[in-house]
Structure 1
Amino acid sequence: MRQEIEASSCLDIVSFAEAYGMPELLEEANDFILRNFWEVSSTAKFQDLPAEKLLDFLRCDGLCVPSELAVFRAVISWIEADPEERLGQAGLLMAAVRFPLMTFREFREVRAINLRMECFGNKEVELYGSALKEFGFSLPKTEDHCRVRRPKDALVLVGGDQLNPDMGQRIPSRELWFANSLRSGTGLVKQIEWRRLGEMPDKPKFRHGVAAMDGRLYVFGGCYFYTKDDMMKSVYSYDPVQDSWKRLADMQEFRSNFSVVAHEGCFYAIGGDKKLNTNVDSVEKYNPNTDSWSFVQPLDQALSGYAVSVVDGGIFISGGFNCKYVCLVSMFLYHPERGTTYLADMAHDRAQHCMDALRGHLYVTGGVCNLRKFYTDQQACEVYNPVTDSWTAFASLPVPHVGAASAVLEEKIYILGGYCQDDYSESGLVHRFDPSTQRWENMGRLPGAVTDIRACLLRLPHHQT
């Protein structure tokens, strides 16, 4: 029955486990409901949930929802399923909705829904007044009054390095961390709870390549320190179910300051540095089925510090350093057999930046740009539309993020760590961009290494989260 737990069946499994005294199954089914509450609330079975059971879920800190507005909407849908019987219980259920966690924009919807509910029968509905009091004047009972969301996919950080303030030396990292939960608190305070996942085998890594495929994490090449002979071509895979690492076939080139992209069941290691201040144009393909590497069509110029992402089956590459280490404005489509097709240039030159695919568009953020014979921080951001081959500006980063990691989680873009080029300070901050609000949010600090880290999404087993 554990294998049958899904949004449409989990409430029936809860009832079964309660009826037959199966506490472990009950705990797992209840946990599934909390983690997937928004999907469960849209099922027909949710409308038959007893008020007492619904209240238990609403009061739980671990209720996973995209925002507190989703909790409010779920309660409204439950009431609207039988308004004559359920309006009398609305006040008690609404008291479990944590209105102080809403934004003002979200709270306007509370008012609109409340007005619509007043049309049900002749019963008086005074939810808005009590909600307004909660939203504007209530204080949390404890400092931990919040919602804790545990996303289905874990945001995993791999390697990187940081400055040891006591020793004045840089410390490369072997560590892996993952975002176990996202916490939303009163006053729009948001924070990520990080947990340590383990360590990579062999040497520490930064400026390496990371990708995920078929539930496994793959780590490629990179540097273990800063001299010309400290680059690697080793490859490892991590199985989160077995919590084990496996050494795979080495790449054919030493590579650092590069990226690896998963495409049509294979991995592609693209360009990068093969020794200090020497870019390469080669691209090699890894086949997981045969554990082997082969060279494919090279880039039309040597390139490192670029950003790469896949949209609609196409491999897009933006910016980066050319062979003279000048930051580029280029954007091109790369094909392993046909090579490079240039597209519209970005508005701003950049390297050591991030690019993430979201809703069919490519969001480019951060990095450095040219400043005469030097570099400076590039905080301007822009988004590419592959259909129109055009760029549009969006909200600039609140702080510099050079050599940062990035990922898309639950339709939001996360920029993680990096440093400031102008003074080489390391903030270790995490910022999140929401395309629906066009705003950046501060999500707290990283737990370990902060520069030249890599990130990806990975589904972790239940016992690790």
Structure 2
Amino acid sequence: MAATHNTSAVDGYSVRTGMGSEHFAGVINSLRTGGVLCDVILKGQEESSAAIPCHRFILSAHSTFFRTMFTIGLRECHEEVVPLPEVSAPILQSIIDYIYATDISIDEDNALSLLAAAHFLDIAPLVSTCWDFLERTLDDKNCLERYCFPLCEIYKPDLMKQAKAMVLRHFMEASSNPDFLELSTDKLVELISADDLCVEHEEDVLSIVVRWFNHDLEERRPQMYAILQCIRQPFLNRAFQQNYFLPLLETVKNRPAGEGAGSSTSQLNPGTERTEEVAACLNHPRKLFGTTTVICLIGGKGDNLNDTNCVEYFDPLKKSWNSWKSAVFVNVADNGVVNVDDKYVFLSGGYMNNEFWLHANVRYDPYADQFEPMGRMQTPRACHGAAYLNGYIYAIGGYVDTHGYQASMERYDYRLHYPPFHSEWQFVASLPTALANFATVVSNGRIYVFGGRTFSDTATDTALSYDPKNDAWRELGKMPTARYSCSACVGPSGLIYVIGGFFCGGPNQGQSLSCVEAYDTKTDQWLTKSGMIKKRQSTGAACVGNKIYVLGGYDKGDLNSVEYYDEASDTWTVSDTQLPTARSGFACVTFRMKNLNSLEAGKKPNGTA
């Protein structure tokens, strides 16, 4: 069986399998649909499940489960109707269609059910394809479901680990998912005990735990005391701690362990004493305790087109600006930047005063306010794309003083930068064509490139995606508007927004653009959105919360204005907060910063236990 990716499918994933020639597969399938020579009828778990006529031989050829069932003398060898109570009727129908060489669509709604059924029926190619889909499409909206999927823990611990990390990072959003209330005790404790749990206040954790209790209070009552001990009591607001938490803890402490509607040996023992290690952990703040996402602007061109080493960050919630000390050890513009796990900012390439293209790859630690040179790129480049994906830092295309526009791409294995390991930049698949000044974004396990400037100094409508598993680029539906020096970011809904830029042909000859277009990765379709209020090129774009922000840029001069976009209403608004310094051509990245003042705040939980 061979699996192929159908890019036109709305569901985003399509698989085709064949048995020899397409003609032979078509004949076999026509025999099945016509009920010709069929010797068994399968039925799914529902009582009203439709009968599915099949051939034992074909089923056995594709499934070890069926081959065993039909060859070792079980009663199913001779029965006309074979029920499969473990598989739902729609999923069974999809799998039979798959076996008989027609398309099967895998999407968010059926992926886990298809995988569970494929595992049960032991259909290896379909199992592999489903796992591939789950790995490629993991995001903050489905991470909770995949973290709780039992087969992940058994067969794909790395995927479960990634899903858990994403749940911890997006804990407040994940906890609002109705499925969160069905979490097992073990899973809940694992999450709320984690140092990496991302919350503004410890009161938020308690509020969520209380809501989980109340969802099935009688069943969960015996576990309350043990779970409440996972709350980091020292970081609760003092008044709240005295008036609510401690009385609640005392109330549930003396409840009989058997009280409630049922118990199991897997339940936590309410009388279990905390170990010294656990107790010590509970006296330390969480790593991401009290954080806020900021938008960082690094380098670029300031007044009079002079390059700068200025590093400033914008807090959209507070509408405030702050500066780091110079993270860039030289004045630089048109450099690349990536955020590595909210621990470091990596800077790559760029140029100084339009003269020197840099090989540099610099790691900056915002908390220590220190930078450290890392392995140099093999090719000095500016106006290039930069991306961080699966532990690798990528440098894509760009412009090189002595060689012009570049198609080459190289990557740096961040995981090997610690001694005794050593990492160097390695070339991987090049762009289909040499480009510079394009927009780069990472989404759903792929790198996307939009627009760009070609060697003939023209704007392109190119849209490309890079799959690191295949080390290959693929052309996507072309952008409605050709442009370069545009920006891009992933919006709240998952659409990729391509914003502003410069157009050098047709009626808009030599003009900055205000137009905004959104790309749907699932349908390979472009959507026209409301344009910005101000025309901009070489601007910064970032999504924080449910807003998209654009900052600075250039239009007949460097800009210091900020405007933001509301996806729900498709409207732009000019912010009353401006950049401290008008600038363009800077690197822009979001970064989760610690908020030292947040530990003083407190919130009451919603509901009571």
After TM superposition, is the score higher than 0.5? yes
* Counterpart among 227, 236, 242 of residue 362 in structure 2: 236
Q: RMSD of aligned C-alpha atoms?
A: 2.8
* Counterpart among 254, 263, 272 of residue 389 in structure 2: 263
Following the alignment from structure 2 to structure 1, what is the Cα–Cα distance between the partners of residues 436 and 554? 18
The answer as to 2:549 corresponding to 1:414 is yes
* Counterpart among 193, 212, 216 of residue 344 in structure 2: 216
8 Å Cα contact 1:258/1:305 also seen in 2: yes
> Would the alpha carbon gap of residues 345 and 41 (structure 1) be closer, same or farther in structure 2, given more than 3 Å must change?
same
Unaligned runs of 5+ in 2: 1-170, 173-197, 213-289, 417-421, 599-609
Following the alignment from structure 2 to structure 1, what is the Cα–Cα distance between the partners of residues 597 and 358? 30
**Where does residue 196 of structure 1 map in the other structure?**
323
Q: How does 1:159-308 map to 2 (within 5 A)?
A: 159-163=299-303, 169-180=304-315, 182-183=317-318, 192-214=319-341, 215-227=343-355, 230-275=356-401, 278-288=404-414, 289=416, 290-308=422-440
**Where does residue 294 of structure 2 map in the other structure?**
154
**Where does residue 434 of structure 1 map in the other structure?**
566
> Would the alpha carbon gap of residues 330 and 259 (structure 1) be closer, same or farther in structure 2, given more than 3 Å must change?
same
The answer as to 2:513 corresponding to 1:378 is yes
**Where does residue 557 of structure 2 map in the other structure?**
425
Q: Which has the higher helix share?
A: 2
Unaligned runs of 5+ in 1: 1-5, 8-31, 47-149, 164-168, 184-191
- Give the C-alpha shift of residue 242 in structure 1: 2.3
> Would the alpha carbon gap of residues 286 and 413 (structure 1) be closer, same or farther in structure 2, given more than 3 Å must change?
same
> Would the alpha carbon gap of residues 36 and 220 (structure 1) be closer, same or farther in structure 2, given more than 3 Å must change?
farther
**Which residue identity is paired with 1:298?**
S
**Where does residue 343 of structure 1 map in the other structure?**
476
Following the alignment from structure 1 to structure 2, what is the Cα–Cα distance between the partners of residues 410 and 36? 20
The answer as to 2:532 corresponding to 1:405 is no
Q: TM-score, normalised by structure 2?
A: 0.49
- Give the C-alpha shift of residue 419 in structure 1: 0.8
Q: Which has the higher strand share?
A: 1
Following the alignment from structure 1 to structure 2, what is the Cα–Cα distance between the partners of residues 435 and 207? 28
Following the alignment from structure 1 to structure 2, what is the Cα–Cα distance between the partners of residues 175 and 34? 29
Identity, % of aligned positions = 22
The Cα offsets for residues 91-141 of structure 1, whole Å up to 9 and x where unpaired, read as xxxxxxxxxxxxxxxxxxxxxxxxxxxxxxxxxxxxxxxxxxxxxxxxxxx
Which protein is bigger by CA-based radius of gyration?
2
The Cα offsets for residues 395-425 of structure 1, whole Å up to 9 and x where unpaired, read as 10111110011111113211111111xxx22
**Which residue identity is paired with 2:496?**
L
**Which residue identity is paired with 1:211?**
V
8 Å Cα contact 1:318/1:330 also seen in 2: yes
The Cα offsets for residues 18-64 of structure 1, whole Å up to 9 and x where unpaired, read as xxxxxxxxxxxxxx997799887766489xxxxxxxxxxxxxxxxxx
8 Å Cα contact 1:155/1:407 also seen in 2: yes
8 Å Cα contact 2:313/2:323 also seen in 1: yes
8 Å Cα contact 1:355/1:365 also seen in 2: yes
Q: Figure out how many residues of one structure are paired with residues of the other and give that number.
A: 317
**Where does residue 316 of structure 1 map in the other structure?**
448
The Cα offsets for residues 211-252 of structure 1, whole Å up to 9 and x where unpaired, read as 01131110111011123xx21111111112322211111111
**Where does residue 363 of structure 1 map in the other structure?**
497
Following the alignment from structure 2 to structure 1, what is the Cα–Cα distance between the partners of residues 202 and 301? 35
- Give the C-alpha shift of residue 463 in structure 1: 4.6
**Which residue identity is paired with 2:478?**
D
Following the alignment from structure 1 to structure 2, what is the Cα–Cα distance between the partners of residues 263 and 34? 27
8 Å Cα contact 2:324/2:369 also seen in 1: no
**Which residue identity is paired with 1:291?**
S
**Which residue identity is paired with 2:310?**
E
> Would the alpha carbon gap of residues 409 and 151 (structure 1) be closer, same or farther in structure 2, given more than 3 Å must change?
farther
